Structures are given as C-alpha cells and as structure tokens.
Structure 1
Amino acid sequence: MSFKKIWTALKGGANEAAEAVADSQAIRILDQELREARDELKKCDHNLTSIMAKRKLAERKVESMSADVAKYTEHALSANEQGNEALAIECAERVAELESQLDTEQALLNGFKQSETTLKSNIAKAKTNVRRMEQQIDQVKATEAVQKAQVAVSTRHVGANSKVKTALDSLDRIKQKQTQRAAELEAAEELASEESGSSLDAKLRAAGIQPGGDVSGKDKLAQLLAKKSG
C-alpha cells in the first residue's frame, strides 16, 4: 500500500472518530447553542427597548418643535397685520431657526423608526428560529430517549433469547446424560446377573430342566399320583 493510501485511510479514520465524538455530544452542543441564542435575543430586546425609548423622546421633541413653529408663525402674521414689521421679522427668524432644528430632529426620528422596524422584524425572525430550534431539540431528545429504550429492550430480548437457548441446550445435555446413565445401569445389571449365574438358572427353569421351572398341568398331576401311590 502506498503512503498516500495509508495517509488517506488514517485521515478517514480520524474524521470518523471526530464525527463520533461530535455526534455523542450533539444534544449538549445544541442546548449550548440554544442558550446562546436566547442570550442574544435578550440583548436584542434590550437594544430594541432603548431605541423605542429614544424614538418616543424624538417624537415628543418633534411635536413640541412643530407646535413652536406653528405658534411663532401665527405671531409673525399677527405682528405683520398690526404693522409691527420688526417683530414680525423677528418671529419669522425664530420660525426659520425652529424649522431647521425640526428637520434635524425629524431625520433622527425617522432613523429611530426605521431602526425599530428593522430590529423588530429581525427579532421576530430570530425568535421564530429559536422556537423551531427548541422544537427540533425536544424532538431529538425524545427520539433519542425512545431509541435508547428500544436498544435496551432489544438487547435484553437478545440476551434473554441467548439465555433461554443456553438453558435449553443444557437441558438437552442433561437428558442425554440421563439416558446414557440409564443404559449403563441396565447393562451393569445384566452383566451382574450373568456373572452370578442367575441368568443361566432362569433359562434352565424356563426349559423345565431345573426345579422351579415351568411345569405343565399333566406333568404336575403325574407327580401328585406318583407321590400318592408311593
């Protein structure tokens, strides 16, 4: 095998080992990522609250300046109607100054509104993703628990079947040993009978050659009559 192939095999083995470690820690990693996402969302909510507060302040300032512009505009017109041109000009200058400030504040207000709208949209999307992530993690945990239970049950089932098979094999061996022992005992008794001559005596009695053998009724009557006449 070339060095390149050896390196490829080692690299593949290392990748598989790394993947196995990552898989074993997958749920822990997902939980950690979820916690970090929640923390980021809290920060986003805090930033949104700050922007909303600044937007409200800017709105109030714009409203106040708009009211001032309207007020000094009315004063300028009133002074002009009364023939007080100097006062009318002074009020008009104040209106111009307020309108310039109002344009600046309105631009700031528009920026706060745009930021608030964008941030609300992004936060809503992020919260949707977090809820989806929570759902997936819960599903993964539930599936993992079910599969572990299934593996445990399957392992016990296989183990139980293995134990039952082992017990049945042992039972068959015991039966075979008992059958062999019974045959050996029967053979031993047969040998003992032959050695003591009892087997031969039994054969002689059966043939009527030895006393105690089987005797017919006719022969027995002849024996009785012989004893009587004698």
Structure 2
Amino acid sequence: MNRGRQIGISVSAAVLSGLLVYGVYLLQLRQIRLTETAEVVVPRQFVPAGTALEREMLTTLRLPSGAVTAEMITEMSEAAGLEASAPLGGGEPLLRWKLDKFRLLPRRGEATFQVPRDYVKSVSSGIRAGDRAIVYLSADGLASRRLFDEPVIVAAVKTAANQEIDNPKSSNLLSMAEGDKERMYASRRDANGSIDAVNLNLTEAQWLALDNACKDGAAKLVIAYDAASFGGEGETGS
C-alpha cells in the first residue's frame, strides 16, 4: 500500500514538474516573440499632404513584429513615387490609406486651378482625373508652342452639370489602380458626359503664365492627353 502511494506521489511530482517546465518554455517563447522585430518604412521628417515621396525622404524603422500591421509599408520600393494624401509625421510608419498613386492633390508649391472655358480651344476627349496633360498655346498669327516644358496633373474633369466624367459602372481610377488597361480604355470610351471644365494642378508661375497668355483672348489652350498616363500607350483625340 505504501509502495503504491509512493509511486502515485512520484508520478504526480513528475507530471507537475513537466507542466512547470512547459510553462517556463511558453513564457520564454512569448518573450522571444515580443523581442522579434520587423522593418517598416517611415518618413525622415514631417511630410505635408500632396507631397510626392522620394527615396531620400524615407528610411526604415524596426518595430516589434506584433506591432506591424498589414496597412504598414515594409518595402522602400513600394512607397517611393506615391503621394501623401494626408500629412505624415517624421518617424511614423507609412500606412497605405494615407498614400495615393494618382496625385489628384496638388503637390507642395502647387494649387488646383479650374481653367476658364474661354481660355480653351480644345481638350482631348479621353482625358480623366489622375492623367498627365500636355498644355499647348495656339494663337492666330503666331507659331503654336508648348506652354509648359513638363506635363501637368489633371485634378478633375467635369461635365456642365459639375459631375466628374467617368464610367459610373467601371471607374477609370479604380482600373488604373488595378493595372487593368483594357478596362481603363473601356471606361474612357463609355464615360458619362462631354468635357466642360478641366482642373489642373499648377504652380503659381505656371498659372500666371497661362493666365497672362490667354486673358486678352488672342491665344487659347490645347490640352492634350499624355500617353505616359496609360503606361506608354494611349490615344489622344480632340
């Protein structure tokens, strides 16, 4: 009887000892996981909304793995070239919802200007918000010329009813985000109205040059679709 009791006590002690060892192992494993880190991309300093991110503006920061979420950007190549759609704090992990691929907001030093209708001679029918546009100046008796050296970003394209021109069943911007060029082309073809107003993101110097060239009515603008908006492919019509 005493022998059986001793065996029972020994077995119980062994089980308790095993549970204690296992508990210590779980605590150590949890501690290891808490000390594991992962790199996330952060701005070196404060970034205002509308700023296009460049590699030199970014760095990486190590955070505990448990604090890294799917919304945080972990690759520098993914962040470079995107635009801040909200202010970004220095050292703050970049969140995807705060970044935009299609630069509808004016960049630093720019503002969004609606081009007066009487300034415009023609607009490419396929132009949409988020596109790049080339602006030309056309005047009677003078050689036509390119007004700005570089293309400018189209912030909005609207109908006479002040509605954004797009295909309501298949958004052009959504197709751009998904890289679906066929659907992008279809959305431009099946858009919901004719262009009445174009908003462009311009610097102050660009707007003053445009206004001074057109305000007396002697010259008008030709706003052309830049094929680079379509990844190097596209059509321009007027």
Shorter-chain TM-score: which interval? under 0.3
TM-score normalised by structure 2 residue count: 0.26
Which structure: greater strand fraction? 2
Which structure: greater helix fraction? 1
TM-score normalised by structure 1 residue count: 0.26
